[in-house]
Amino acid sequence: MTQPPPPRDSLRPSPPPRAQSHQSGTIHQHWNDLPAGYIPSPTSLSRSASRNSNITPTAGGSRGISPLGRATPIDKSQSQSQSTEEPTETTREGQHELSTLLPALYTLPSTLSQAERTQLQTRINKSLLPKTGDGGTTDEQKEWIRGILEMFVVSGEVDGKTCREEIVGFMRRESGVAGWAGGLRRVVESVIAKEETT
């Protein structure tokens, strides 16, 4: 013999079988579930970038980014022609090499002690200057650093705070650069502004 179901309280409605949304009714997926049939693209698997990122993937898979977030296409024919030429002190009219920009940065007035400055110089030079070591930096990374240092040291287009923020953004975008780029950031933020020295 089966028993009848227990009496329902007429004041309490029975709970819904599924969660209800006040906007669209029954919830079939949670807010962070991927849509049914979603297949991630190879680029989304290889790296993730925020929607506000300044990274622009290029055909070769490398990232072309200029200082201050200006995306630049990387032309393979241009980079090949530059690698066959003899290295000079200036790459193009008015542009300086890292081998001249870094010593110029190191000679600016700074709040760092001489020992700390020497330690940071060694770390940075091993990664960025070919004669002192190969830190595994790519040509695109070196070009980006060259551009931001030229704007900071030579032309004065960016101040110390902006240069520091750009280097921090660079460290977030690029992998494997935190050691030397962190040292570069420390050197840049220790530079005494020209207004403070006069």
- Helices and strands, number each (H, E), in the chain: 8, 2
Give the chain's radius of gyration (CA, Å). 27
The predicted structure's pLDDT at residue 38:
63
* Run means of pLDDT, 10 residues per run, the chain, 198 residues: 65 61 59 62 50 43 48 39 40 68 91 93 86 74 91 87 92 90 93 66
pTM for this prediction: 0.52
What is the helix (H) or strand (E) element at residue 146, kind and residue range? helix 139-149
Residue 181: its pLDDT value, please? 92
What per-residue confidence (pLDDT) applies to 34? 61
Task: Specify whether the CB–CB gap between 192 and 152 falls below 8 A.
Answer: no
Question: Rounded distance, CA 71 to CA 144, Å?
Answer: 11
pLDDT of residue 194: 65
Closest CA to 67 of 187, 177, 150, 180: 150
Predicted local confidence at residue 175, as pLDDT = 87
Cα–Cα distance, 50 to 180 (Å, whole number):
24
| pLDDT value for 75 | 40
